[in-house]
Structure 1
Amino acid sequence: MTTQHPEYLGQVAQARREELGLTKQAVHALVGLNPFTIGKVEAGQAERIRKDTLTRLDRALQWKEGSASDALTKQLPPRVITIADASVPMSRVLYVPIPANLFTDTVRMAETVTEAAGDDERLAPLVEHMNTIADRMLRAWTIADIEHQRYDGTLSAATIEMLLGHYLRRAPQAATADDHTELMYLRWLLGRLPESESERDEEFAQRWSQMEQTFSATRRINR
């Protein structure tokens, strides 16, 4: 049986991710690794790591092919890709560009189901869950879109007012702490963070700073 060193891989992976200024969500956007999986790897708690996961780590962390595997099985320091390695294929995808109409259609479908269910108590939990998912999908897409507009300098006052009028005035479905955080971050991106949430300004500024670094790093790769 091959000896493995998940703790070592976790240490070097976390150090490299932080060096690149990437959040776990940014790594997910780059190569599709689940943030939960990334957390387990970095904590040295991943008992079985798929080859595909190791390959994606190499791509996200700008390591030469096989570095994550060598760190896991041989405890060897990862080999970082340099400018001289330009021929090494890199990910050119930051996020999957899903059309907005797919999200709005999902929201409309949730509303239709709600109307059809009426007062049927048997369907109430299903309807509530569907509405929650639809709301979170729409909010996640909106945040990603606004982040890109803000980075590109194309965010307009008209866009801000449209969102304030058609989306931000609604309370998030199943208002959990995470729902509230995402809604407040969206308001912060638009420069409309409520005074009652002003103590979170630094938190959101740091989150945005990490996204800026992600966009910058990705565009350097794609040149």
Structure 2
Amino acid sequence: MEEIPHVVLGKAVKARRTRQGWTQTQVAEAGGPSHATLVKLENGNLPKLTPAVLAKLDQGLNWAPGSAVAIMSGGEPTPLETSRRAVVAGPQHIPLPVEELTNLIKLSKVVDTGLAEADADARAVRLARRAMRDFLSRIVGRYATELLERNGGPDTQLPAIIELSFGELLDQPLDPDNALEREEQLYRRWLSGRLTATDVETEDRFRARWQHSQDVWGSAGEGPARRRA
């Protein structure tokens, strides 16, 4: 009996990943689908594959564009072995001490005020102010995400101090132009209990991401987030 295309693809994805020594998280961070999606696909439990997911598989597994589609059609993928993975690059993340984050917020206010006083009507000034606010929002958002992962999550009551500190950030309108930032915003809302109505795929994706964070901190001796009694 011929194997179902999505099952064939799942096996090819797992074979490529394990042969290269990559974890599912590493594939996701390299531009592939989410960790939860990869788990389902490799287990043969993801029959619905969108063009976006297929394109992300090519990116995350370092295949030539169209490779995932080719596999589902009975063909073979085209590895790009002369890729960025052959080069040892610098870290993708660097620590940002809370003190520096505070300094960045202060600097943003100084720059914002100065630009506003210089020429509040100039288009270039408005764009600069918006860019500064957007950048700062992303930086603060990443910090808030980790803090919420450590203190929030399913069936958890957020400490009042976190609600007071990040309530405004959590209530900001969702970014209509940046899909990755929108995903982060939704995840933070889910961690804080603000996102109550979600589809099954989103719920599974966020729960898997949160559980992974608990496993990481548990292995580091920090323990999981405190559950509500």
TM-score for both structures, normalised by structure 2: 0.52
The structure whose residues are more often helix, as a share, is 1
Percent identical among aligned pairs is 18
Structure 2: 5+ residue stretches without partners: 1-14, 31-55, 64-78, 223-229
Give the counterpart letter for 1:191 in structure 2.
Answer: G
Q: Is the contact between residue 16 and residue 61 of structure 2 (CA under 8 Å) also seen in structure 1?
A: yes
Shift in CA distance, 172/11, structure 1 to aligned 2, threshold 3 Å: closer
Q: CA-to-partner distance for each residue in 1:80-123, whole Å, 9 max, x for gaps? A: xxxxxxxxxxxxxxx75422232233233233323322222223
In the aligned structure 2, how far is the partner of 1:174 from the partner of 1:116?
28
Could you tell me which residue of structure 1 aligns to residue 216 of structure 2? Answer: 214
Q: CA deviation at 1:139?
A: 0.1
Could you tell me which residue of structure 2 aligns to residue 178 of structure 1? Answer: 180
Shift in CA distance, 214/10, structure 1 to aligned 2, threshold 3 Å: farther
Give the counterpart letter for 1:11 in structure 2.
Answer: R
In the aligned structure 1, how far is the partner of 2:219 from the partner of 2:142?
22
Give the counterpart letter for 2:97 in structure 1.
Answer: P
Could you tell me which residue of structure 2 aligns to residue 12 of structure 1? Answer: 18
Shift in CA distance, 47/15, structure 1 to aligned 2, threshold 3 Å: closer
Q: Is the contact between residue 184 and residue 193 of structure 1 (CA under 8 Å) also seen in structure 2?
A: yes
Q: Is the contact between residue 107 and residue 131 of structure 1 (CA under 8 Å) also seen in structure 2?
A: no
Which of 114, 130, 133 pairs up with 2:132? 130
Q: Is the contact between residue 13 and residue 42 of structure 1 (CA under 8 Å) also seen in structure 2?
A: no
Secondary structure of the equivalent of 2:124? coil
In the aligned structure 2, how far is the partner of 1:167 from the partner of 1:42?
35
Q: CA deviation at 1:186?
A: 0.7
Could you tell me which residue of structure 1 aligns to residue 104 of structure 2? Answer: 106
Secondary structure of the equivalent of 1:137? helix
In the aligned structure 2, how far is the partner of 1:131 from the partner of 1:144?
20
Equivalenced residues, count? 159
Q: Is the contact between residue 187 and residue 193 of structure 1 (CA under 8 Å) also seen in structure 2?
A: yes
In the aligned structure 2, how far is the partner of 1:136 from the partner of 1:42?
27
In the aligned structure 2, how far is the partner of 1:198 from the partner of 1:40?
25
- The structure whose RCO (Cα within 8 Å, separation 6+) is larger is 1
In the aligned structure 1, how far is the partner of 2:166 from the partner of 2:60?
38
Which of 69, 74, 80 pairs up with 1:45? 80
In the aligned structure 1, how far is the partner of 2:135 from the partner of 2:145?
15
In the aligned structure 1, how far is the partner of 2:181 from the partner of 2:212?
20
Give the counterpart letter for 2:203 in structure 1.
Answer: D
Q: CA deviation at 1:134?
A: 0.9
Structure 1: 5+ residue stretches without partners: 1-8, 27-35, 57-94
Q: CA-to-partner distance for each residue in 1:35-90, whole Å, 9 max, x for gaps? A: x9xx566544241512x35xx9xxxxxxxxxxxxxxxxxxxxxxxxxxxxxxxxxx
Could you tell me which residue of structure 1 aligns to residue 114 of structure 2? Answer: 116
Measured on the aligned residues, the alpha-carbon RMSD in Å equals 4.1
Q: CA deviation at 1:131?
A: 1.6
Shift in CA distance, 206/23, structure 1 to aligned 2, threshold 3 Å: farther
Listed as ranges, the matches of 1:1-223 within 5 Å are 11-12=17-18, 16-18=22-24, 24-25=28-29, 42-43=62-63, 44-48=79-83, 49-50=86-87, 52=88, 97-117=95-115, 118-150=120-152, 156-163=158-165, 165-171=167-173, 176-195=178-197, 197=198, 199=200, 200-219=202-221
Q: Is the contact between residue 185 and residue 204 of structure 1 (CA under 8 Å) also seen in structure 2?
A: yes
TM-score for both structures, normalised by structure 1: 0.53
